[in-house]
Structure 1
Amino acid sequence: MDENYEHFSHLIKETLEKSSNLLHGGKTTIYLFPFNPDQYTIISQMSGVTAFATSNQIIVLQIAPQKYKEEMLKYTVAHEYHHIVYFEDKKDKQRDLFDYILSEGKADSFATLINPEINVPWTDELSPDVELTIWDWAKDKRYSFNNNDLAEMNAGNGVIPKWSDYKIGYQIMQDFLQKNPDIPIKEWTFMDSDEILKRSRFSPNS
């Protein structure tokens, strides 16, 4: 990790600069750690990069130096940066399942603007049947979800596929942005879930 630190630092700073030019946020602190090499499956699935953001403007990055892809690192930093900005306003305001789902869809939509050349598996277009299955599952639990439901949306179960939270969130946001191309990034970042759903084909009553 040490011999790659300067290169990692350059990529991270470059991505943060691009991200802040599109969506201004406060100071962001990043902690960088190496992957445990025994986590082979996760390393492979995530192209050698994982991260999470906290509500106090911290991003924790894990990188597998021999396995990571530069574009995935930049995509991940942009995704988590968007969460940081979102949390500045919304950290105490997530009230239902679609708030969580759309926070991921917004972050992926933003990361795609920063890094349009990379394709991540959870942003692939869904078939109509799979999309409807995830939509119905999430809509049914919108106001009664718990941590187990969040875990199932991410890991998948016998009904919905892995990364369903990211997949349906991205599809909703992409439909919204196609129908509302003139809305600024900052505005849709903080827009309420109901408003986004109403202005897309994903009506809350459908």
Structure 2
Amino acid sequence: MPVVATNQWLDHYLTKKLGFPDLDMGIQRDTLCPHLTNYYTSITTEEIHQHLLQNGLFPPSISDEKTINKMYERNIWRNVESEFNKLKVDWNGPDVPLFIFPSNLENEQLRIDFNGLAGLAHQNKLFLFVSSQPTDKEIQALLTHEYNHVCRLNYLNQEEKTITLLDAMILEGLAEMAVHERMGKEYLAKWTSMYSLEHALKYWKGEVESNLHLQKGSIRHQQFMYGNDSIPKWMGYNIGFHLVCSFVENTTCTVNQLLRMPTEQILEESAFK
């Protein structure tokens, strides 16, 4: 399946928009989201729109046309499709639809911490939210990370809301290990190096190990992954990376092998057991 031609949907959006943000938000919803209803079940276009906005989709602004034109100039759709096809072959991964949209550069964290890049991976679809800021290699790293999620989610084959904290940490660690394996450590996410292995192990023993069963739908699960007032920022992500790294050091397994390995086996042969 080729990368979906969302550029055509964006062109339609540009011809319809009026220059008034509140009105253009509805126009954005009505020009983009009806195309996506076949990829979701029991969800309205309004809910799809809010879901995408929460995960990195651009809000309407006066710079939309400039941003989209730059994406054309960069051949974003063609370049992503080329790398996407390589990943599918190398990992024997599922042929899912991939949707590319501009990202929300009004979001300070997204702009500063992630250079205007975000992704959203499901078992049966993948979204990339990009801007003109990142290099082609940085976009490739995003694709590598997010498509790795798709492959792993297909192996786990369960409702996403039932993904446990342990599953989620390994999911994130495995995706960044894939970036490291294919592109080198300079393209790793900032959270991979925020805390040392020793710090991660200490926090694991003190707080995380007794909560590995928490499911994604729970608030506490999200707090362990992203942090809060008492949990360090991105702690779960960082632990996941160290856990997967230590497993690879102990076993010399490749990312391709890890993608279809039981979660408990990865834990058992890591530094965290």
TM range, smaller chain: 0.7 to 0.9
Alignment of 1:2-81 (within 5 A): 2-5=69-72, 7-56=75-124, 58-65=125-132, 67-81=133-147
CA deviation string 1:9-35 (max 9, x = no partner): 233123223323431112131111112
Matched, 1:140 2:210: yes
Structure 2, unaligned stretches of length 5 or more? 1-67
Task: From the superposition, tell whether residues 189 and 14 of structure 1 become closer, same or farther in structure 2 (CA, over 3 Å).
Answer: same
CA shift, 1:129, in A, is 3.0
Matched, 1:171 2:242: yes
* Count of residues in correspondence between the two structures: 200
Report the counterpart of residue 124 of structure 1 in structure 2.
Answer: 193
Structure-1 separation of matches of 2:263 and 2:191: 20
Q: 2:150 aligns with which of 76, 79, 84?
A: 84
- Given that 1:134 and 1:164 are in contact with CA atoms closer than 8 Å, whether structure 2 keeps it comes out as no
Structure number with higher relative contact order (C-alpha < 8 Å, ≥ 6 residues apart): 1
Structure-2 separation of matches of 1:48 and 1:84: 21
Shifted more, 132-141 versus 168-177: the winner is 132-141
Structure-2 separation of matches of 1:85 and 1:119: 19
Report the counterpart of residue 200 of structure 1 in structure 2.
Answer: 270
- Given that 1:134 and 1:160 are in contact with CA atoms closer than 8 Å, whether structure 2 keeps it comes out as no
Structure 1, unaligned stretches of length 5 or more? none
TM-score by length of structure 2 reads 0.66
- Given that 1:55 and 1:87 are in contact with CA atoms closer than 8 Å, whether structure 2 keeps it comes out as yes
CA deviation string 1:81-121 (max 9, x = no partner): 11111122213176532111111111111122122142321
Q: CA RMSD in A?
A: 2.2
Shifted more, 131-140 versus 101-110: the winner is 131-140
Letter in 2 for 1:179: N
Structure-1 separation of matches of 2:120 and 2:69: 22
Structure-1 separation of matches of 2:237 and 2:222: 12
TM-score by length of structure 1 reads 0.85
Alignment of 1:182-197 (within 5 A): 183-197=253-267
Task: State the identity as a percent.
Answer: 19
